[in-house]
Structure 1
Amino acid sequence: MLVLAFDTATAAVTVALYEWVPGAAVRARASAEAVDARRHTELLTPAVQRVLAEAGAAPADLGAIAVGVGPGPYTGLRVGLVTARSLGEALHVPVHGVCTLDVIAWASGRTTPFAVATDARRKEVYWARYASAGVRVTGPSVGPAADVLDGAPDGLPVLGEGAVLYSDVLAGASAPDPLRPSATALADLVITRLSGRPGPELLPPEPLYLRRPDAVAPGPRKKVTPR
């Protein structure tokens, strides 16, 4: 089975195609990544097409789709989720969501406690704490960088772009890599769970916004009373 994975919840547009045969080895077929916080719409579809072409596969060959569900900024996150749901419906294949912070945690492979923080703009971060790469214990949450270490053990490592942006606050950020989610880690995580092995929870393909979008629908027009 071919699993197409992608995440657009951060500045990264990351795509990967994995081949999975239950009971056999998992094989990475192709991947692509670009970092541009303002061009998710322009970059995602060509990246998916490029990855499929490189692997010699067609959309009809896909058996499942994996997508990062955030938390993340409204516009970028929406691009990935709409694409995933549209492909799933058109191809009649399941779509599995994963918390984007869990993807970063999974890629770290860590076996001891740490935190993950990504850029939430407005001088805030999206964050969560982990007992290990596959076990989240707190979050996801959004707030000032100081919240990440509030009540945490001294020297707790913080991974992710937020650790770099707010290194003055996140004193434990001695090893921020990986900075952003990778679709290869996302695909591996989903395949791990579908294989029945332990790991982060699989979610429906619905967005984890954690706060309201900046853009809101206009309210009703004010009535004008004639003088």
Structure 2
Amino acid sequence: MAEDHDHIIGKEFQAFWKAGLQGRDYLEESAVVCYLDLDLENTTLTRVFYRSPEQGSERAEDDMIDWFYEEQLIQKFDIIDVKLYMNYSPLRLTVDGLQKVANNLKDMGKEVKMTLKFVELYQTGDDEEDAEENREGLRDLEKYGVLVDVVEARDWMVLLQTLTQKAAKKKQAEVNEVSRDHLRHILKDPRHQETSTDSFYMTSEAASMTDLKVMAEAEMMTEPCEEEEKEKHSSSSDDDD
């Protein structure tokens, strides 16, 4: 029986992608990816937040703001560069919450920089509820010093890297190395086309493990520790879901 790979791309990424495709026909799902670059020690803390209608009326942004107050690791660093990606632009209440978070950190003597990017504007049209308040919130963020922009091409690659299942990445790395090894043999001698592919799975194992090691090292700075997340942050969404 063939394996089901429909969920290789996480529901969080789909919330970002579909938001852009549907325009003002808003999704009910909300998603936030938060990257914190801490001090000058190349330390990056990554958290993913997701909310669907089945989880209640709160949005992913609400969980994110609560997390800022709960995460103890943030307290240990003096320079905090916050990069936020949202599938929709923030509501006025979210803007107020972000400003309070930043002010709280600054009051603790920390240097705070913040960038916010989103896929689609949310309830900012003239015919939409609370549109002027939400537009004013975006203007206030910019006045506060937050870089406000829309998600661009290179950002999609960052989101895809973060929101793709690690198990799927591992399987792809294994399969790709097997295919590459098989191709080398075919190009070297056409007679190898008739060789059983079983042998290539065995001979490519060492090379595949090397690729996986490189991939794992690259992901260490962009993905949270899953076990620690399950214990400390049950509200955060993990990209293996």
TM-score, length of structure 2 as denominator length? 0.30
- Greater fraction of residues in helix: 2
Larger-gyration structure (1/2):
2
Q: What's the TM-score, normalizing by structure 1?
A: 0.32
